[in-house]
Amino acid sequence: MPLPKHPYFRGLSPTLHIAHRGGSLLAPENTLAAFRLAVERYRTQVLETDVHLTRDGELVVAHDSTLERCTDGAGAVADHTLAELRRLDAGYTFTPDGGRTYPFRGQGVRMPSLRELLRAFPGLRFNIEVKPDVPGIEEVFAQVLREEGALERVCVGSELDEVGERLVRALPEACHFYPREALTSFVLTVRSGELPPEDPRYTVLDMPLHFGEVRLVDEALLHAVETQGRWLNVWTVDDPAEMRRLVAERVGGIMTDRPDLLRQILDEAPKPG
């Protein structure tokens, strides 16, 4: 798969090792503990994560809009200040063995801010989804990226097309992934035997491997992605057999909750050339 022209892809080549939420089956998701494990032990090349806006206008790293699943807190992320969120135990609910042990509980694992995350890994690429449809969140996000000098190492987007479009307007120079309806249109057009119309707003297809029983990644899709100078990342793949097949197909990147397995498979794969 040829590289798109955007600076985000400088020095990269398929297939990228992308740690989904830092590798959420190995450590508490979306925490520095997970991100550091993925980077330092499994040499991840891209960290995938999500951000929400706090009550005091800061961006915090979290997938859910509520706190119960991943912390010892309760309620909506948006109802708390960043300082309040950082007092929560973000390792409280993580268990690797079905609830027998909670090895990160009480170990000082916290919810990081976006600024903290960008500063912790100054040379790394990120794939970041802006979660809530909150007026002005795109401007806050753009300000953080510009102030942190991170524009060329973040691919940004939203599942929501309206938010994705606002992000394009706020960050026209950034790398953007397709939102849901634009992505669906691209894939369905390809499956109908046509090439999608060019859309200069978006460069990256972040998409599931399957829709129901249908495997979405096939020769036609890979050809369309290459023809249009796009990049394809597939989520969330934890099965080694599927990882090997995707590497053989030379997809752009694999998002996984098992960065250990993906690193093993990438290291054993024959190198191109």
Angle at 16 between CA 13 and CA 22, to 5 degrees: 150
Q: Which residues of 70-82 are buried (b: 16+ CB within 10 A; e: fewer)?
A: bbebeeebeebeb
CB proximity list for 25: less than 8 A, separation 6 or greater: 96, 238, 257, 258
The CA distance from 131 to 158, in Å, is: 6
Strand partners, 208: 235
CB proximity list for 171: less than 8 A, separation 6 or greater: 138, 141, 142, 145, 151, 156
From the candidates 17, 20, 52, 80, which is the catalytic residue? Answer: 20
20 is catalytic: yes
The CA distance from 81 to 28, in Å, is: 21
The CA distance from 126 to 204, in Å, is: 13
From the candidates 17, 52, 63, 176, which is the catalytic residue? Answer: 63
The CA distance from 233 to 176, in Å, is: 13
Please state, as a whole number, how many other Cβ atoms lie within 10 Å of the Cβ of residue 107: 13
Identify whether the C-beta of residue 182 lies closer than 8 Å to the C-beta of residue 199: yes
Strand partners, 60: 52, 113
Catalytically active residues, by annotation = 20, 63
